[in-house]
Amino acid sequence: MIKMRMTSQRKAILETMSHLRTHPTADELYAILKPKMPKISLATVYRNLEVLASQGFVKKLSLGGSAQKRFDGNPEPHWHVHCVKCGRIGDVEVKKDFNPIQDITMASGFDVQNFQIEFWGICPDCKEESQPEAKTGGRRHVRKKR
């Protein structure tokens, strides 16, 4: 068992993180918590996120291209897909039998211990926005047969 002092604020942070799938920065989480917990400070949110991350309760993300650290409350192994338009980060489920570490160890000569895969693309919301005429265009009679 991991011993850690669970203050009520820390509990609330962990609780909120476990339901969020938006990979918030500390600032974003603070903005979410503040209305519910008027006494909480940004410094408290920062500090508790760091503690929770160091104990493995949340993950600190080192994502390419983002200036601010983002945190992830999803404990399942998963990858991330970034929207190149709005910056949103989605979760991608990991296929259980996918493990390239052995192959990469062989190919590189390194003792490979870990890996991280990131994807970039356009999220469903942005896709819809960028194709306003898609529903009324000439292709509307083209439907995929299922």
Distance CA 11, CA 8 (A): 5
Least distance between Zn ion and beta carbon 108 (Å): 27
Strands 118-121, 78-83: pairing is parallel
What's the closest the beta carbon of residue 110 comes to Zn ion, in angstroms? 26
Pairing of strands 70-72, 59-61: antiparallel
Q: Least separation, in Å, of the C-beta of 37 and Zn ion? A: 24
CB nearer to Zn ion: give 50 or 118: 118
Closest approach of Cβ 3 to Zn ion, in Å?
26
Identify which of residues 87 and 140 has a Cβ nearer to Zn ion in the complex.
Answer: 87
Structure tokens at 135: 């529903």
Task: Name the DSSP letter for residue 25.
Answer: B
- CB nearer Zn ion, residue 17 or residue 44: 17
How many CA within 13 A on the CB side of residue 93?
A: 3
Q: Which residues bind Zn ion (CB under 5 A)?
A: 72, 74, 83, 85-86, 88, 91, 123, 126
Is 45 or 123 the residue whose CB approaches Zn ion more closely? 123
Residue 99 and residue 27: Cα distance in Å, rounded? 34
